[in-house]
Amino acid sequence: MAVLRLSPPFLLLLIALTTLLLTPVFSLDCKSEKFTNKKVYSNCTNLPALNSTLHYTFSSKNSTLSVAFIAPPASPDGWVAWGINPIGTGMAGSQAFIAFKDSKGSMVVKTYNISSYASIVEGKILFDVVDSSAEFSNGVMTIFATVKLPETLMGEINHLWQVGSSVKNGVPMKHAFLPDNLKAMAKLQLDVKASNVTTGGSNSTASGSNTTATGSSAANSPTKAPSNNSASSNGGIYGIVIFVACLFALF
């Protein structure tokens, strides 16, 4: 009876293919994010940059916008930010919420009226903040916030988001200027019907996010059920590298 003998390069090729097929690549998806306290937002969107998502509900009755912004920080001790720019599309002029860990390791969220690119100083923003809180779990940070919007912003807003790698003395340090960081902005349609699901910085439905929170409504903040929807897995990339290396070895 003949015995099939495989050369070492061929064995490596088979192993690489198996790894490639069996290793999933995870990313945040707003449709699968759930809150353990069953909090639900009318819309959600998978934002087009920085592996982030946004859940939101706009009430024209009382002019309030409630959001849950979810993103992995650039490092575990980094920060995430979400904001609205009422006068433009870039960072300058934005009214932002930035979440990070304080000196005791607890999550905090603070407001920033960003007047220029030169510095970021904590302060009151142009909108009335009804409540805000922040959480960290499974490698991602979540900002919860509700703001009261002026009439001029009740149809469409310019929103932006960002992540950074470090915080020093309670001050978020500059973020990277990679392509993904530079395109982290979009228009958000507020007057949309629930159940529209898109992936380009506009709208959709779902809910999403877990950990200790602080802010004006931290006690009521939802927590995120553990899931596999965290930052992208490197396993698939390693499989591709091994696969290519094996092809070179064979030929």
pLDDT tens figures, 63-84:
999 999 999 999 999 999 999 9
A 10 A CB-CB count for 183 gives 13
Using the structure block, give the residue that is written with the tokens 């293919």: 17
Using the structure block, give the residue that is written with the tokens 């407001």: 111
33's tokens: 């994010």
Residue 117's pLDDT is 75
A 10 A CB-CB count for 180 gives 14
> pLDDT for 89-130, tens place per residue?
889 999 999 999 999 999 999 999 998 777 788 999 999 999
pLDDT band at 170 (very low <50, low <70, confident <90, very high): very high
Length of the chain: 251
Residue 37's pLDDT is 54
Residue 208 scores a pLDDT above 60: no
Report whether 55 contacts 43 (CB < 8 A): yes
Q: What are phi and psi for residue 60, nearest 5 degrees? A: -70, -20
Sketch the domain layout of the chain as residue ranges: 1-25+233-251, 29-229
Residue 86's pLDDT is 95
Measured distance CA(137)–CA(76) in Å, rounded: 10
Residue 115's pLDDT is 85
Most confident region among 6-10, 15-19, 97-101 by mean pLDDT: 97-101
Higher-scoring residue by pLDDT: 234, 97? 97
Residue 116's pLDDT is 79
Q: With pLDDT > 90 as the criterion, what percentage of the chain qualifies?
A: 53
Has domain 29-229 been given CATH number 2.60.40?
yes
